[in-house]
Amino acid sequence: MSKSIAVNAGSSTLKFKLFDMPSEEVVAEGTIERIGEKMGHAKIKYGDGQKHEEEQPFVDHGAAIKYLLDQLIALGIVKSYDEITAVGHRVVAGGEYFKDSAVINDDVIEKINSLAEYAPLHDPAELVGIKAFRKALPNAFAIAVFDTSFHANMPKMNALYSIPYEWYEKYGARKYGAHGTSHRYVAAQAAKMLNKPLEDLKLITLHIGAGASITAIKNGKSFDTSMGFTPLAGITMATRSGDVDPSLVAFVEEKTGKTSAEIIDDLNHKSGLLGISELSPDMRDILDAADKGNEKAQLALDIYVNRIKRYIGAYIAEMDGADAIVFTAGVGENSAPVRKLVTDNMDYLGIKIDQEKNQCHGVQRDLSAPDAKVKTLLIPTNEELMIVRDIERLKKEQAN
């Protein structure tokens, strides 16, 4: 038996799962949250029900990675790094280059480095993880699994913007999307739950966490997705604006004297739920405050829900219908109130949930009302499992 680790760096989190392979049994897992904020939080589960929890600041992803590597030994999860024979890293942007997961070598690292502009909040942090693990585990089989791969062959009709064609040809200006590993996983699970071949289904997968994206999946393939050239586009997120008129950048530049790079940074870090509510990026805080009558929190919630509804409507129209919508990621998995608000008044489109079944979190469940024409499913995502499965696949491909 050997161990494989999946390392998943998000915009403000670092998640990992250590698997015994090939059994796919999880032997340790953890999350480091609020990286870059004043106080961070680390939670690791391991052994038979042991838990390690700690509050401390993590200045950046480098600090979080170091902490993870140290804790693997300190908590006795492994006696030596040699026990971990394979590592899979989540990388958000693979550009036009990486249409599938890749075995990491110097050339791949160089390519990921050159793609940093395509996911400025993610790729640089993920490279830090790749390099740190390479140093600590020099003999491990290491791969990169790209969020964008699932969307790489999206129909051109949806991947291209209505902009001068040569921007696409010369510079690769197109929609790349993100969260593909998650959309791919929940789509496969949805097919199992519905007991139908994935190839026969039209699905709308709602990955709503701190970063959030919605994908239209037709015949098992990404047909359209809400994130764009970078993960800034689409629906309202914790701190990201989602879709805005690009003219705003020049307008705000003129008004404030900020550079376009600073404004894009504001759209990434100071917008979304945080920007509108002027309170918090965290949906739990927004729901609490809205409940207590805070008007800006209520407005942030209304805008958030509205944008999700807008994309559901658009994707039902684009695919000529849908068999199911799927809720996943931090908000989608844990917030019954948000799931209710999103699906309220959608009977016209055939979407209707059973309010009692909806009272749950973090479990796989069909939430549909008996007379719903479009099923509503709750499916906790598992990007890490997809990552270690790709390790096995690439190992076999390399051996052949």
Backbone φ and ψ for 105, nearest 5 degrees, come out as: -145, 180
Residue 79 Cβ, how far from ligand UVW at the closest point, in Å?
Answer: 31
How deeply is 356 buried, as exposed, middle or buried, from its count of CB atoms within 10 A (0-12, 13-18, 19+)? exposed
92 binds ligand UVW (CB under 6 A): yes
User: Within the chain, where are the H helices?
Assistant: 61-74, 106-114, 123-136, 156-159, 165-171, 180-194, 247-256, 260-269, 272-277, 283-291, 295-319, 329-334, 336-343, 383-399
Distances (CA, A) of 243 to 11, 12, 268, 274, 329: 18, 21, 11, 16, 20
Only one residue has tokens 């658009």, namely 314
Distances (CA, A) of 110 to 46, 72, 127, 150: 34, 28, 10, 22
CA–CA separation, 80 and 84 (whole Å) = 8
Coil/strand/helix, residue 240: coil
Coil/strand/helix, residue 67: helix
242 binds ligand UVW (CB under 6 A): no
Binding mask 202-231 for Mg ion (x = CB under 5 A): -------x----------------------
Tell me whether residue 95 or residue 231 sits nearer to ligand ADP (CB atom): 231
CA–CA separation, 13 and 10 (whole Å) = 5
**Residue 323 among the catalytic residues:** no
Q: Indicate the DSSP class of residue 204.
A: E
Sign of CA dihedral 115, 117, 118, 120: positive
Q: Is 209 annotated as a binding residue?
A: yes
In the list 10, 129, 234, 380, the residue contacting Mg ion (rule: CB under 5 A) is 10
Residue number closest to ligand ADP, CB atom: 330
Among ligand UVW, ligand ADP, Mg ion, none, what does residue 91 contact (CB within 5–8 Å per kind)? none
Furthest C-alpha separation in the chain: 62
Of residues 147, 224, 323, 390, which has the active-site annotation?
147
Tell me whether residue 238 or residue 387 sits nearer to ligand ADP (CB atom): 238
Question: Which of 276, 7, 303 lies closest to 142, judged by CA?
Answer: 7
Among ligand ADP, Mg ion, ligand UVW, none, what does residue 324 contact (CB within 5–8 Å per kind)? none
Only one residue has tokens 């491990």, namely 140
334 binds ligand ADP (CB under 6 A): yes
Which strand ranges, in their side-by-side order, compose the sheet holding 212-218?
A: 221-225, 212-218, 202-208, 324-328, 375-378, 365-366
Coil/strand/helix, residue 228: coil
Q: What number of chain residues touch ligand UVW (CB under 6 A)?
A: 11
The region of 54-62, 102-110, 206-214, 248-256 touching ligand UVW under the rule CB under 6 A is 206-214
In the list 3, 7, 13, 190, the residue contacting ligand ADP (rule: CB under 6 A) is 13
Residue 332 Cβ, how far from ligand UVW at the closest point, in Å?
Answer: 12
Tell me whether residue 284 or residue 393 sits nearer to ligand ADP (CB atom): 284
Q: Indicate the DSSP class of residue 201.
A: -
Touching ligand ADP, residues 263-322 (CB under 6 A)? 282-284
Q: Is 242 annotated as a binding residue?
A: no
Residue 377 Cβ, how far from ligand ADP at the closest point, in Å?
Answer: 17
Tell me whether residue 208 or residue 249 sits nearer to ligand UVW (CB atom): 208
Q: Is 208 annotated as a binding residue?
A: yes
Q: Is 129 annotated as a binding residue?
A: no
List residues near ligand ADP by CB under 6 A. Answer: 10-13, 209-211, 238, 282-284, 329-331, 334-335
Contact residues for ligand UVW (CB under 6 A)? 10-11, 92, 122, 147, 178-179, 209-211, 231
- Give the binding site for Mg ion (CB under 5 A): 10, 209
Residues belonging to the binding site for ATP are 15, 207-211, 282-284, 330-334
Enzyme catalytic residues: 147
Binding site as annotated, residues for Mg(2+): 8, 383
